[in-house]
Amino acid sequence: MSDAEIPPLPEATPAAKPVPESRSEFLVTSAPHLAAGVSTRRVMFEVVLAMVPLFVFAVYMHHARAVVLTAATLAGCLLTEVLANAIRGRSQASLSDGSAVVTGVILAFSLPPSLPPYMAFIGGVVAIALAKAVFGGLGQNLFNPAMVGRAFLMVCFPAAMVTWAVPVPLQEIGVDATTMATPLYAAARNEAIPAMSDLFVGTVGGSLGETSALLALIGGLYLVMRRIADWRQPLGVLAAVAIFAAIAHRVNPAEYEGPLFHLSSGALMFGAFFIATDYVGAPITPRGRLIFGFGVGVLVMVIRVFGAYPEGVMFAILIMNALTPLIERWTTPVPFGGHVAAA
């Protein structure tokens, strides 16, 4: 059947559309007439809200740098969004949906605190331009924009991206240096690692907003309880990391740290609750989301244990983003009552 033979839809658009006054006294629409009223903007606002404690902690750890870096990525993201909308001839409505803000904050949190602000700005521009706008804007991107922005910076500014400033509170207690190794880097080189309590609370060197597993966990659980984030991705990530780390630690305790270290270090907790739960890049099917999370966890550990990089959340997310369409296809639920019988 060619296109020309297909008769038009019975209703031009099923959306609300008043019938001309002469024919109808009331608004005529198709059911349902009720909605939960949780909008995209509301979802994004809740995600930002859940990241506020992490931001406050970042300011405590890095003072003005936290504010400047976050402002730089946000400026990069929002300006690029405006520009992309203008080029594509779209309204600027997408600015208010909050998705670019979420991208900007996640990107800022994943950067080294000492990164020059102009680099952070470039990261924000690349995140929105190359990962989101070119695919067609919100909901169309294959890859997590913040992670693409970060990957771009890793390639362009490799030195700056692995230079970790000593947090201000640590300087105050007498760490006499300007830079330090992150716990994961130390572990990879079999150097001394910080106490587990410091690691969990986040008073260690590392990315701007990712070091506190505790606050990421609190914010993440808030999102899960509010049903903004699904529990399946975080559970998958944490389970995979714990299992993998337990096995590696069992095989060679001297070489590999245990599950608690891996769960509390680097971007893991933040990644599990805030990056892996990003809607667009993850499967829409419930089982798919569990597989996605598990895949992220396994890849993180493969990179941490066998890779050249000490941390692997970014690569793991990007690789699983690429696999999402396939996972979705495999895990599309069978209808309750089976597939529709052939006519």
Inter-CA distances, 50 with 19, 186, 224, 314, Å: 43, 30, 10, 20
Residue with tokens 């509301």: 42
Among 234, 283, 295, 297, binds another protein (CB under 8 A): 283
What is the CA angle 282-270-317, rounded to 5? 35
Cβ atoms of 98 and 45 closer than 8 Å: yes
Among 2, 4, 32, 89, binds another protein (CB under 8 A): 32
Residue whose CB is less far from another protein, 44 or 267 = 44
The verdict on 282 binding another protein (CB under 8 A) reads yes
- Interface of this chain with another protein, residues 83 to 112, rule: CB under 8 A: 93, 97, 99
* Residues facing 165 on adjacent strands: 179
Verify binding: residue 334, another protein, rule CB under 8 A: yes
189 is a site residue for another protein (CB under 8 A): no
* Binding characters for another protein, 231-250, by CB under 8 A (x = yes): --------------------
Q: Which of 86, 87, 140, 195 binds another protein (CB under 8 A)?
A: 140
Among 4, 26, 190, 306, binds another protein (CB under 8 A): 26
Work out whether 24 is an interface residue with another protein (CB under 8 A): yes
Nearer to another protein, 99 or 110 (CB): 99
| Residue from the set 4, 7, 252, 254 that interacts with another protein by CB under 8 A | 7
Closer residue to another protein, CB minimum distance, 47 or 186: 47
Residue with Cβ nearer another protein (48 or 302): 48
Q: Does 251 bind another protein (CB under 8 A)?
A: no
Residue 225 within binding range of another protein, rule CB under 8 A: no
What 307-312 contacts at long range (C-beta under 8 Å, 24+ apart), as own/partner pairs, is 310/182, 310/184, 310/185, 310/187, 310/188, 310/266, 311/182, 311/184, 311/266, 311/267
Residues that bind another protein (CB under 8 A): 3, 6-7, 9-11, 14-16, 19, 23-40, 42-43, 93, 97, 99, 137-140, 230, 279-280, 282-286, 289, 332-341, 343
